[in-house]
Amino acid sequence: MDYKAIGERIKQERNKMGLTQFQLAEKVDISPQYEGKIERGEKRFSFETFLNLSIALNTTLDYLAFGHRDSAKSPERLEMELLANKLSEGQISLLNDIIRAMLVHKNRG
C-alpha cells in the first residue's frame, strides 16, 4: 500500500469537509499527532482505524486506498461487516431474519 498517497487522500477529504486534524482525530478516536503522521504517510494503521477514517470522511476504503471513487462497498456496508463479525451465530441468524423482513416490507411498499 502507498501510505503517502493514502495520507494525501485523507488530508484532501478532511479539508473538503472543513475539519481540522484535531477534529478528525477526535471522530476516529486517535491522537491528533497520530492522525497527522497518517496524513504524511509516516505511520501505518489498523484496518479498524482505516475503516473509521473512511466513515468519518464519508468516503470508501477503495477511494482512500486506491483513489477509486466508484466502489461497490460504502463505509456503512464495511462497518456493518465489521460489526457483524463480532456477533454470535444466533445473533447473525436474527440479523438475517430482520434484513429479510425489511426486504419483504420494501418489496410490498
CATH number of the domain at 3-108, out of 3.40.50.300, 1.10.10.60, 1.10.260.40, 2.40.110.10? 1.10.260.40
Question: What pLDDT, on the 0 to 100 scale, is given for residue 21?
Answer: 97
Which amino acid would we find at residue 30? I
What would the pLDDT profile of 11-66 be if each residue is shown by its tens digit? 999 999 999 999 999 999 999 999 999 999 999 999 999 999 999 998 888 899 99
The residue whose grid cell reads 488530508 is 11
Coil vs helix vs strand at 102:
helix
CB 36 within 8 A of CB 21: yes
* Statement: the pTM of the whole predicted model exceeds 0.75: no
Annotate 2-35 with DSSP letters as a single string.
-HHHHHHHHHHHHHHTT--HHHHHHHHTS-HHHH
Please tell me which residue, 77 or 87, carries the higher pLDDT value: 87
Q: What is the pLDDT of residue 55?
A: 92
Please, which pLDDT band fits residue 81 given cuts at 50, 70 and 90? Answer: confident
